[in-house]
């Protein structure tokens, strides 16, 4: 049974199931670690065969070609911060960087290593005051072309701040702006076409749109969820935003008309913890906290926006989801003592034309 798609607040019949991603393999060697039960941005794919995930004591690399893992970034040793418990992570092939955020506001950046090599740390510092509940680094987004076209890093923190950093050629961050919100920021993402626009979700039912050029943080509110949110993703076209809430719904917004959500999808049983678009923009992965990943055919030109769906049924806590850069593979991290794995699904049909304009 596919996930139920809602139009606005009204129940609509669920779409017909369509298996457009099929199971390829499940690697048992990778053991994904979920250290914070609400934070699931822990899986990234930088190529068809290179996947990075948070594990015990650091960030690990998985080479699908060799079917081998190695510890790429040791977060317990080799840097000035001392042992770091990973709350969130990031990876970018374009920037050649790995990122890790910790429970005490730590930010660790390292060069993306080759197979079997250890990552070289280029930056280790705290963003927030250590030793408090407000110190957690909840999400990190590495942006190859940020404001002004320069590489950037967007950090979401539990101290009710979203911070924009410029990245040097060597990957060293410099704080550019800091934006205060009325609630803890759980996830912030930068618009792919208007790089001065950021979307934030956090410990509040509403989401927020921020103009990063305004230091005071001029904010537009998106109201519709009924619980806190921990995931957000922009469609590549830049006009549609998806947010995921603990009420187990994912809502689609047109930021040109922010008064109400265009559509909402009801999950199967748990909070929506992770959202990822395929690079073409035609497929949206909606990951619940455990067991279910929903793959939705995303069509901005259609009246219902969400037109087809497929439910991928797994077993265990989900550490996150990641599409390969070409969208031909989807990786799912499962954190479970018995059934833990890194699962790969392959696209069952040729990619459709990208939906980049509305």
Q: What is the mean pLDDT of each run of 10 residues along the chain (358 residues)?
A: 46 56 93 94 96 97 95 91 93 97 95 96 89 84 93 96 94 94 96 94 96 78 95 95 95 91 90 96 94 88 73 94 96 94 87 40
pLDDT in tens, 320-336: 999 999 999 999 999 99
Whether 357 is covered by a domain: the verdict is: no
3-state SS assignment for residue 190: strand
Q: What is the number of domains present in the chain?
A: 1
> Within its chain, how far is the Cα of 357 from the centroid?
22
Whether 29 is covered by a domain: the verdict is: yes
- Beta bridge partner(s), residue 264: 6, 251
Whether 305 is covered by a domain: the verdict is: yes
Whether 230 is covered by a domain: the verdict is: yes
Q: According to the model, what pLDDT value does residue 350 have?
A: 56
Whether 224 is covered by a domain: the verdict is: yes
Q: What is the CATH number of the domain that holds 327?
A: 2.130.10.10
Q: According to the model, what pLDDT value does residue 13 have?
A: 40
Q: According to the model, what pLDDT value does residue 128 have?
A: 87
Q: According to the model, what pLDDT value does residue 217 have?
A: 56
Q: According to the model, what pLDDT value does residue 106 have?
A: 94
- For 180, which DSSP code? E
Domain interval for residue 129:
4-347
Q: According to the model, what pLDDT value does residue 72 have?
A: 97
Whether 235 is covered by a domain: the verdict is: yes
Q: Enter the tokens of residue 71.
A: 């510890």
Given a contact cutoff of 8 angstroms between Cβ atoms, the answer to whether 101 and 140 are in contact is yes
**Please, what sign has the CA dihedral across residues 125, 128, 129, 133?**
negative
C-alpha span between 77 and 314 (Å, rounded): 34
Q: According to the model, what pLDDT value does residue 308 have?
A: 72
Instruction: Please give the order of strands across the beta sheet that includes 68-74.
Output: 43-45, 50-55, 58-63, 68-74
- Beta bridge partner(s), residue 191: none
Whether 196 is covered by a domain: the verdict is: yes
Q: Which residues contact 80 (CB under 8 A, 6 or more apart)?
A: 124
Whether 138 is covered by a domain: the verdict is: yes
Given a contact cutoff of 8 angstroms between Cβ atoms, the answer to whether 345 and 312 are in contact is yes
What pTM does this model have?
A: 0.90
Furthest C-alpha separation in the chain: 55
> Within its chain, how far is the Cα of 93 from the centroid?
15
């Amino acid at each position: 049974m596919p996930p139920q798609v809602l139009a606005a607040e009204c129940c609509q019949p669920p779409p017909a199931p369509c298996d457009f991603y099929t199971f390829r393999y499940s690697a048992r060697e990778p053991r994904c670690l979920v250290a914070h039960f609400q934070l699931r941005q822990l899986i990234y794919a930088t190529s068809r065969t290179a996947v990075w995930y948070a594990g015990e004591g650091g960030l690990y690399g998985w080479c699908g070609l060799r079917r081998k893992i190695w510890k790429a970034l040791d977060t317990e040793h080799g840097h000035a911060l001392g042992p770091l418990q990973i709350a969130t992570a990031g990876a970018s092939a374009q920037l050649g960087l790995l990122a890790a955020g910790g429970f005490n506001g730590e930010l660790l950046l390292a060069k993306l290593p080759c197979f079997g090599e250890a990552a070289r740390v280029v930056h280790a510092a705290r963003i927030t005051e250590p030793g408090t509940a407000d110190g957690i680094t909840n999400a990190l987004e590495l942006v190859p072309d940020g404001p002004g076209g320069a590489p950037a890093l967007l950090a979401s923190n539990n101290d009710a701040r979203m911070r924009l950093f410029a990245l040097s050629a060597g990957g060293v961050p410099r704080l550019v702006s800091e934006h205060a919100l009325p609630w803890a920021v759980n996830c912030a993402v930068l618009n792919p076409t208007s790089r001065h626009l950021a979307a934030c979700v956090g410990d509040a039912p509403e989401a927020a749109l921020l103009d990063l050029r305004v230091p005071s943080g001029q904010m537009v509110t998106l109201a519709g969820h009924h619980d806190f949110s921990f995931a957000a993703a922009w469609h590549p076209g830049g006009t549609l935003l998806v947010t995921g809430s603990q009420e187990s719904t994912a809502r689609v917004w047109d930021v040109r008309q922010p008064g109400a959500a265009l559509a909402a999808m009801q999950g199967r049983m748990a909070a929506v913890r992770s959202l990822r678009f395929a690079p073409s923009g035609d497929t949206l992965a909606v990951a619940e906290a455990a067991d279910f990943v929903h793959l939705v055919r995303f069509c901005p030109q259609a009246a219902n926006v969400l037109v087809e769906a497929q439910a991928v049924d797994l077993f265990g806590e989900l550490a996150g989801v990641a599409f390969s850069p070409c969208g031909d593979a989807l990786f799912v991290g499962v954190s479970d003592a018995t059934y833990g794995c890194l699962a790969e699904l392959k696209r069952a049909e040729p990619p459709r034309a990208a939906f980049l304009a509305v």
